[in-house]
């Protein structure tokens, strides 16, 4: 299929004899692409095979030997996963875009690269360390903020309820997650912003626009698809993050939107990590089945993202 594409593309550019180099190189890269599908299929088969017993066993047997009826059990965790990732994106996206803009368009040129390097360092910190930082530093530091928010903004549903005494809430977790996905979103956005055609920018400036107007008219439209892609990459990380959430969040199987209380909806990945070591029999299957649910959530998110991107104009190349 791909060879025909090559031929087509080639012929549209220039009619020529087929080149061995192209056949080999194209074949190799196609093979790599296919190998990814094979790996993924292997993972999916593994997941399905392991998850099946949990999905097919009768609920009363699951209640006896597992964690209880599957869908009722997994729903709060699915909610927690999405909720925590959403909150993290809420914090991280504006900041990341800001940083990326700062590096690409605001910072002095000489400094820009080193500053970009500085932000990349945030990605150098392993999640265990973020977990330790969250427990020992961020949670105690944010605890007064919990009290303040619940005292003055407690009428707002998000901040209602009894504030936690230790600060290990989804509020704190969202901050930790935001810091973790920040460098991922920033790095991609930065590269995309830097690739904005110079001519577009200069044209905007020549028409008398301010720097901000130039960014809005030339940079953002060009980078929109890239930004969405960057956000999705960050979201993937936030949805699947295990260790930091497991260490920081005081989680349980509950569903509510309050972000300051003791009991928070736990995430699927964290729940697997917390319970897998001691799990046995059907419980293992049930945990892996919840992994499958996480898989499907990511799938849904990605379909949505692709749809958003495809609704926008062609963005490959700079013309």
Partner 1 sequence: MSVTTNSSSKALNPLKAGQLPRWAPWAGLGLALIVGLVFGGMKVAASTLIAAAVFVVGMHVLSLYVEGRRRANDRLAQHIVYGMFMLALVPLVWVSWIAVKNGLARLDAPFFTYSMRNIVGEGGGAAHAIYGTLYVTGIATAISVPIGLLTAIYLAEYGGNSKLAKGITFFVDVMTGIPSIVAGLFAYALMALLFGPGTVNGIGGAIALSVLMIPVVVRSVEELLRIVPNELREAAYALGVPKWKTILSIVIPTAISGIVSGVILAIARVIGETAPLMVAAGFTQSLNNNPTQGQMMTLPVFVYDSYAHPGIPRQPYWDRAWAGALTLILIVMLLNLIGRVIAARFAPKAGR
Partner 2 sequence: MNIKKIGAPFAILMAAALSMSACAANEGTPADNATTQSSGSADAGSNLSGTLAGQGASSMSVAQQTWIAEFQKKNSGVTINYSPDGSGAGRKAFQGGGVQFAGSDRAFKDEEMKAGSFGKCTAESNALNLPVYISPIAVIYKVDGVDELKLDPDTLAGIFAGKITKWNDPKIAATNEGVTLPDATITAVHRSDDSGTTENFTDYLSQAAPSVWTEKANGEWPSAFGGEAAKGTAGVVDAVTQGKNTIGYADASQAGDLGVAKVKVGEEFLGPDADKAAKLVEASPKVEGRKDHDWALKLDRKAQGAYPIALVAYALVCEDYKDDKDAELVKAYVGYMVSDEGQKVAHEKVGSAPLSADMQAKMKAAVDSIK
Q: Does 290 bind partner 2 (CB under 8 A)?
A: no
Contacted entry of partner 2, partner 1, none for residue 205, CB cut-off 5 to 8 Å set by kind: none
- Per the structure block, which two tokens stand in for 28? 């190799």
By CB under 8 A, the residues from 39 to 98 that bind partner 1 are: 39-40, 42-43, 46-47, 50, 94-95, 97-98
DSSP assignments along 30-69, one per residue: HHHHHHHHHHHHHHHHHHHHHHHHHHHS-HHHHHHHSSSS
Q: Does 119 bind partner 1 (CB under 8 A)?
A: yes
Contacted entry of partner 2, partner 1, none for residue 65, CB cut-off 5 to 8 Å set by kind: none
Contacted entry of partner 1, partner 2, none for residue 286, CB cut-off 5 to 8 Å set by kind: none
By CB under 8 A, the residues from 239 to 258 that bind partner 2 are: 246-247, 249-254
- For residue 251, the SS3 value is strand
Question: CA 94 to CA 71: how far, in whole Å?
Answer: 35
Count interface residues toward partner 2 (CB under 8 A): 31
**Looking at beta carbons only, is 62 or 188 nearer to partner 1?**
188
Which string of x and - marks every residue 36-75 that binds partner 2 (by CB under 8 A)?
Answer: -------------------------------x--------
Positive/negative CA dihedral, 164, 168, 170, 173: positive
Contacted entry of partner 1, partner 2, none for residue 95, CB cut-off 5 to 8 Å set by kind: partner 1
In this structure, the chain runs to a length of: 319
Question: Least distance to partner 1 from the beta carbon of 104, Å?
Answer: 9
Q: Are 100 and 161 in contact (CB under 8 A)?
A: no
Question: Least distance to partner 1 from the beta carbon of 94, Å?
Answer: 7
Question: CA 296 to CA 303: how far, in whole Å?
Answer: 10
Q: Give the 3-state secondary structure percentages of the chain, helix then strand then coil, rounded to 5.
A: 80, 0, 20
**Looking at beta carbons only, is 46 or 71 nearer to partner 1?**
46
């Amino acid at each position: 299929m791909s060879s025909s594409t090559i031929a087509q593309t080639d012929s549209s550019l220039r009619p020529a004899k087929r080149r061995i180099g192209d056949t080999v190189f194209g074949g190799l890269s196609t093979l790599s692409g296919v190998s990814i599908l094979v790996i993924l299929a292997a993972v999916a088969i593994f997941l399905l095979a392991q998850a099946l017993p949990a999905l097919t066993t009768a609920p009363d047997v699951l209640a006896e030997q597992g964690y209880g009826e599957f869908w009722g059990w997994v729903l709060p965790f699915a909610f927690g996963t999405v909720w925590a990732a959403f909150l993290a994106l809420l914090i991280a996206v504006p900041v990341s875009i800001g940083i990326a803009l700062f590096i690409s368009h605001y910072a002095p040129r000489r400094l820009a690269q080193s500053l970009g390097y500085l932000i990349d360092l945030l990605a150098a910190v392993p999640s265990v360390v973020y977990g330790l930082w969250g427990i020992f530093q961020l949670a105690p530091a944010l605890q007064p903020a919990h009290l303040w928010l619940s005292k003055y903004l407690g009428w707002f549903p998000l901040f209602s309820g009894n504030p936690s005494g230790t600060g290990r809430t989804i509020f704190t977790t969202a901050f930790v997650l935001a810091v973790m996905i920040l460098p991922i979103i920033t790095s991609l956005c930065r590269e995309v912003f830097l690739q904005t055609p110079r001519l577009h920018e200069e044209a905007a400036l020549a028409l008398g626009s301010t720097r901000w107007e130039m960014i809005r008219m030339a940079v953002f439209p060009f980078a929109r698809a890239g930004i969405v892609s960057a956000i999705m990459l960050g979201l993937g990380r936030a949805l699947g993050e295990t260790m930091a959430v497991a260490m920081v969040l005081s989680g349980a199987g509950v569903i509510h939107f309050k972000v300051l209380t003791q009991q928070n909806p736990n995430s699927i990945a964290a729940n697997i990590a917390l319970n897998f070591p001691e799990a046995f029999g059907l419980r293992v299957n049930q945990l892996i089945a919840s992994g499958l649910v996480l898989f499907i959530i990511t799938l849904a998110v990605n379909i949505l993202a692709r749809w958003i991107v495809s609704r926008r104009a062609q963005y490959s190349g700079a013309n």
